[in-house]
Amino acid sequence: MPELLLIRHAETDFNRQLRFQGHLDAPLNANGLAQAARLADRLADEPIDLIVASDLQRAMQTAEPLAARRRLALRPDARWREQAFGTLEGLDVPTVRATMPELWARVLRQDPDDAPPGGEPRRTFFDRVWGALRELAQAHRDARIAVVTHGGVLDMVWRGVSGQPLTSARSCEIPNTGVNVLRPADEAAGGFVILRWADAAHLDGMAVPPIHYPVGKASAARVESAA
């Protein structure tokens, strides 16, 4: 039976500035590079057979130290990208609220079939994530697989397993380089069961972003999913 270690990428400057990243290809900042090194140390002795990553730079840079440490090839896969936010990408919440009030009101409505111009509806995003997750588990039935991806992707996984609707705000913590472990289960559990979630003990003592919105607020859910 496979196990999947789903890992959010390390920190970028956009994370610190609370900007929507989406498909923008932002690199890790200095703190993020240090987080990626700690992640590689943390997983140095865990069994891992395959490493997959979103093809965006911040995910690849997070996965590279782990792949080098384990002497495993790194497999990029665009299906593990963050949700596309279209015209919101690169902007922070105060800017969107001040200059695009109608669009911000749409964001707060949490309509899973709506998206900013050029963006990806949440329902489409959810289907993409779960298609990639199920295919990976089915293709590697006896493997332990590490996947480095994004906050929004992990939110979709959490919703699918917990049964949380797509119309609500995020309800789970998703720290940078947090390790989340899943195992296939029956369909009543969304097809997977969560064994571990938001495990970021390897970051103890490191700097954290200076601004943090409480989990559950609509603005926080959208900003954090832009990672």
Catalytic one among 3, 11, 82, 224? 82
Q: What's residue 45's pLDDT?
A: 94
Position 21 scores a pLDDT of 96
CA atoms within 13 A on the CB side of 115: 17
According to the model, what pLDDT value does residue 219 have? 39
Query: How is 159-204 classified by DSSP, letter by letter?
Result: HHHHT--TTS---S---TT-EEEEEE--GGGTTEEEEEEEE-GGGT
Predicted local distance difference test score (pLDDT) of residue 209: 62
Verify whether residue 9 is a known catalytic residue: yes
The full set of domain ranges for the chain reads 3-225
The pLDDT value recorded for residue 188 is 54
Residue 214 has what pLDDT? 35
Which class would CATH give 3-225?
alpha beta
150 an active-site residue? no
Task: Yes or no: say if 151 and 134 are a contact pair by the CB < 8 Å rule.
Answer: no
Burial of 205 (0-12, 13-18, 19+ CB in 10 A): exposed
Neighbours of 66 (CB within 10 A): 27
pLDDT for res 217: 40
Q: What Rg value do the Cα atoms of the chain yield, rounded?
A: 17
Output the pLDDT for position 218: 40
Instruction: Find the Cα–Cα–Cα–Cα dihedral 215, 55, 38, 193, rounded to 10°.
Output: 50
* Confidence at residue 186, expressed as pLDDT on a 0 to 100 scale: 73
Residues of the chain with pLDDT under 70: 187-190, 209-227
Q: What is the pLDDT of residues 25-34, one digit of tens each?
A: 999 999 999 9
Per annotation, catalytic residue among 9, 89, 150, 224: 9
